[in-house]
Amino acid sequence: MPPPSLLIADDQRDIREALRLLCKAERIDAHCVDSPAAALAALGTRGFDAALIDLNYARDTTSGREGLDLLRALRQADAELPVVVMTAWGSIDLAVEAMRLGAGDFIEKPWDNARLLSVLRNQFALGGSRRQAARLQRENEILQQGEASGLIAESAPMRQVLAQLERVAPTDANVLILGENGTGKGVLARLLHERSRRAGRPLVKVNMGGIPESVFEAEMFGHVKGAFTDAKSDRIGRFELADGGTLFLDEIANIPLAQQPKLLRVLEDGELERVGSSRTLKVDVRLVAATNADLAAEVARGAFRKDLLFRLNTVELHLPPLRERGQDIRRLAQAFATRFARRYQRSTPLFSDDALRALDTYPWPGNVRELSHAVERAILMLDGERIDADALNLRPPAGHPGGAAAAAPSGESMSVDAAEERLVREALDRTGGNVQRAAGLLGLSRPALYRRMEKYGIG
């Protein structure tokens, strides 16, 4: 564990040296400066666990105004930074004013070493608690914990994927998961994290298609108070939140081209700046990305940077579609039935023979996600103890034998929702599932298209 870092600001050289030697003996990393300007410059380039500042700097001044101004500036630059002020004996009014402005404590000169060290240790602990609280608050805002999903993988294609995962999971290699919509890329990303040396740290999930380009940098890298109109306080970005853990970027093909160099820079250097700050932060993040798009084709048409692709796909894992996992379909269906029956406080049903045949013969264009939705719907509508084929309500998609009549009702009888769903599905089919391009065809924003996909259960 690295030693705590302390910013010391005092205009007297002998005092700075005495404090430096005291800190060195106590394994405190002290950085000493001689003026308020130098203190702010130091804080702009690195982080500190606490600051110890004098209240007077100009020769023969005793008002303490310089120190109080520095205190305000430090608090504005880093609201979580504990600040201890030093004041000459008898200047208690100044100390009280400093506490009112946010100082954590005060020390009188000449100081008592034991009291000074006790105050500093308390402030180091306080600063750590503040930062941890800010981190937890941010986690509560954006982490999607979700329900734990067991992975059923009895089929040969899935056993091969799991064998590859077991080899790569313990490493820090970036992984690109490829597969159709709904195949379980998020489940595989969680499994990679759980079987890595980072399992005790956060797994932060980000849907790249759901972040508007205007706030991309603020969401990914964070921002400081006042960086833009709505920046009411400092905010931790996704990369900082995932520090020491894993960052899962889903729908990576949907990242806007203009933002790709910024992501590439963090992947190459492990460095970033919050929006509105010039301070460079180091992060240690293992990246897992996923997409259903053909990234090589996206590179060829100029929509995705080749150098970014090379950073993402150190290892590629290809998830097979559900139609190629025949041995897993029935087991998955029964697992979903058990889960949803428990959720909705029903008895766990069995599947009738005709339902099992329907599960086996249906092409599952929406893959595991579609199977989950079908079973959940059947549980909700169940009137009895067995799920039959009618309860599953599986309709072959357009292009599949019998699909045209089943999936495309006549214009006279089609509802507005049905027409909208059909348009969304057709746009996604035409673009190979690329949400950004499908949204363009429909004249929608990506978030608007995602809302419609969720509404109609489209994976």
CATH number assigned to the domain comprising residue 362: 1.10.8.60
Which helix (H) or strand (E) element contains residue 405?
A: helix 403-407
pLDDT recorded at residue 146: 36
Q: Which residues pair with 106 in a beta bridge?
A: 85
CATH number assigned to the domain comprising residue 426: 1.10.10
Tokens 């559900």, residue located: 322
Domain count, the chain: 4
CATH number assigned to the domain comprising residue 92: 3.40.50.2300
CA-to-CA separations, 270 to 244, 280, 410, 459, in angstroms, rounded: 11, 10, 55, 33
pLDDT recorded at residue 401: 42
pLDDT recorded at residue 397: 58
Q: Report yes or no on 145 lying in a domain.
A: no
Q: What is the biggest distance separating any 2 CA atoms in the chain, rounded to whole angstroms?
A: 94
Tens digit of pLDDT per residue, the chain (459 long)?
A: 678 999 999 999 999 999 999 999 999 999 999 999 999 999 988 889 999 999 888 765 677 888 899 999 998 888 889 999 998 755 677 878 888 888 999 898 889 999 999 999 999 988 888 777 766 665 554 443 333 345 788 899 999 999 899 999 999 999 999 999 899 999 999 999 999 999 988 899 999 888 888 888 888 998 888 777 777 778 888 999 999 999 999 999 989 899 999 999 999 989 998 888 888 889 999 999 999 999 999 999 999 999 999 999 999 999 999 999 999 999 999 999 999 999 988 888 999 999 999 999 999 999 999 999 999 989 988 888 899 998 898 876 555 443 433 334 433 445 667 777 888 888 887 777 788 778 777 767 777 788 788 778 786
CA gap 94, 336 in Å, rounded: 66
Q: Report yes or no on 43 lying in a domain.
A: yes
Q: Report yes or no on 399 lying in a domain.
A: no
Say yes or no: 171 and 303 in one domain.
yes
Instruction: Give the residue from 275, 290, 318 where a domain finishes.
Output: 318
171: Cβ contacts below 8 Å, ≥ 6 apart:
196
Q: Report yes or no on 243 lying in a domain.
A: yes
Say yes or no: 9 and 65 in one domain.
yes
Q: What is the pTM of this model?
A: 0.61
3-state secondary structure of 447: helix
Task: Find the domain containing 216 and state its range.
Answer: 156-318
Tokens 């992947």, residue located: 267
Say yes or no: 379 and 429 in one domain.
no
Which helix (H) or strand (E) element contains residue 286?
A: strand 286-291
